[in-house]
Structure 1
């Protein structure tokens, strides 16, 4: 294998409140695809690395390129690959081992040694995609129609998370669905659930702006959980919804899911954040509610690319602002303010 090196600029997280757009070297070989990044979306984990120098249990030990929601154009590809220079691709940030028990059973998202781009879980950290160029494996690259704008295809990763959550929830045709938390993931779950045949889609969020976005993304109605009269009607007769997706991660919201879910219904926990909750165990048991966790995605990434490509999902209402990579700190600050932002994009051109 012939070793190669390219020098480019990247958005590097050094420590809490210390992120820089600076030069770095990328080393790769003839087995890699070199991708010129065009656009990426800021995720909550990127914000946490900036705000706290960590995302959950993953703590920055050395500088790391952030970002795992991104697309680009193939610059170089292995000769034996079907990929060609100039091809537009969405890059799957997942790199599972593909030989552990979870991977072999089709649960690659649960791989214990997953190398997920833009993550400080392991040392050395796994660099992300907010860079002029990235070197990735051919299997990570999903080609798409170059006529589709990069700012639409940059939603491939979060939409994959949403589609996986919908799949975890089970068949939705004709079902009544509640999504709690109308951030980008919650809104994409609404859109995916609508595409999967849900008959009624209600979104719950404390923010009027988020509720408005939820309606644009497919909600048939919205509620503010602080309005007791609104919420009470969905809790009567032991619950109203067949499937409830909790996408906020707030402890109070998680606890409320049991009252909203009908007997024999399903709760899908997507939101992260709450370390522990005061859970109504008895109520859940006597209603025989199924509680399921949803984490990342498996083959849903390729599905997300196709749904965005053919217009089945239009994420554009969620785009709040776009920044050049040199203004990455301002982009992260803007993304942190949920009063004004849903999804902030970084445009690498």
Structure 2
């Protein structure tokens, strides 16, 4: 363990599989279109866990040290020199995506999330890697910064990015009001999908998970919970809309089983690369609509407004918060779905506490 200095810019850095370190970074050196943000909270995402546990998130392989983290909120310390973006003192959430059209493949202009060479904070998809912002202070493009509405505290605003993923996924199903919704997998994104479906006026929400903790959370959020191993109960749901958020092959199979004839299945959880075996004949003969969902576009603005006015009731999804000095313990907690939901890192205490690997 080493003592921090008063000005230490402490960050969570992935070096390789099972090698994540808490390190002091140089102070941010912003480009003219970048603001320096003092990070308050950072939510641990499944991709952060994959870089830690496997040295890769899907096909994005760590080839150099990379600062983790893309679910972040904080306060602008220094506004962008070019005059763009929020002023110093503004509380902000971060939209971590950058649209890049390199001409390699066409995509709809109104869906920048599908840009073929797009980048994301805390992603090893490109070289050099796109550093994240699990750090005490970070230089971020001003265009990424979204003002946090008055009255919305930073802790709750830390859910904005993952809730935007859920908002986009639920939106892929079309109209939700008055419909029966089944959510497969009640990890953080699934739990937020429940909150979003409730916000959008679903008449009934049923959720599944293997573990008691997320099932209890689902019920707190207004869903009826089922054990994910109860195939008969899931098949009897006959949901108008199914949100598959587990990202597992059994989960996708359950999603197809739980949809009514003519229903819609949104594939929100990212499946493993390569071929997977699912009951496509059932999807075909029951005329199911299967639709993908990838990240989000401007839904983060709707999420911030809904969190601020209380219509999106999602605070229960936050299960733990730990200082950056306990970053490795936070990763351990976040990987255990039987104990945790959304785990937040806090950064204010890094100046007074010891840090280590």
Task: Evaluate the alpha carbon distance shift between residue 86 and residue 253 of structure 1 in structure 2; reply closer, same or farther with a 3 A threshold.
Answer: same
Paired residue for 2:218?
214
Paired residue for 1:17?
18
CA distance in 2, matches of 1:102, 1:69: 28
Say if 1:335 and 1:341, in contact at 8 Å, map to a contact too: yes
Paired residue for 2:110?
106
CA distance in 1, matches of 2:141, 2:107: 17
Paired residue for 1:237?
none
CA distance in 1, matches of 2:211, 2:344: 21
Paired residue for 1:67?
69
User: How far 1:7 moved relative to its partner?
Assistant: 7.4
1:263 maps to which of 251, 261, 264: 261
Say if 2:11 and 2:24, in contact at 8 Å, map to a contact too: yes
Are 1:51 and 2:53 matched, yes or no?
A: yes
Paired residue for 1:249?
247
User: How far 1:228 moved relative to its partner?
Assistant: 4.9
User: How far 1:173 moved relative to its partner?
Assistant: 1.3
2:195 maps to which of 183, 187, 191: 191
Say if 2:35 and 2:79, in contact at 8 Å, map to a contact too: yes
Structure 2, unmatched stretches of 5+, are 1-6, 349-357
Say if 2:8 and 2:25, in contact at 8 Å, map to a contact too: yes
Paired positions, count? 338
* Matched ranges for 1:1-349 at <5 A: 8-25=9-26, 26-78=28-80, 80-81=83-84, 83-97=86-100, 105-145=109-149, 147-219=151-223, 221-228=224-231, 230-234=233-237, 240-275=238-273, 276-349=275-348
CA distance in 2, matches of 1:110, 1:291: 18
Structure 1, unmatched stretches of 5+, are 1-5, 235-239
User: How far 1:149 moved relative to its partner?
Assistant: 2.2
Higher mean alpha-carbon deviation, 200-209 vs 225-234, is at: 225-234
**TM score, norm. by length of structure 1:** 0.92
CA distance in 2, matches of 1:310, 1:283: 42
SS state at 1:19 partner: strand
Higher mean alpha-carbon deviation, 303-312 vs 59-68, is at: 303-312
**TM score, norm. by length of structure 2:** 0.90
User: How far 1:282 moved relative to its partner?
Assistant: 2.2
Task: Evaluate the alpha carbon distance shift between residue 120 and residue 165 of structure 1 in structure 2; reply closer, same or farther with a 3 A threshold.
Answer: same
- Structure 1: 4+ residue segments shifted above 6 A: none
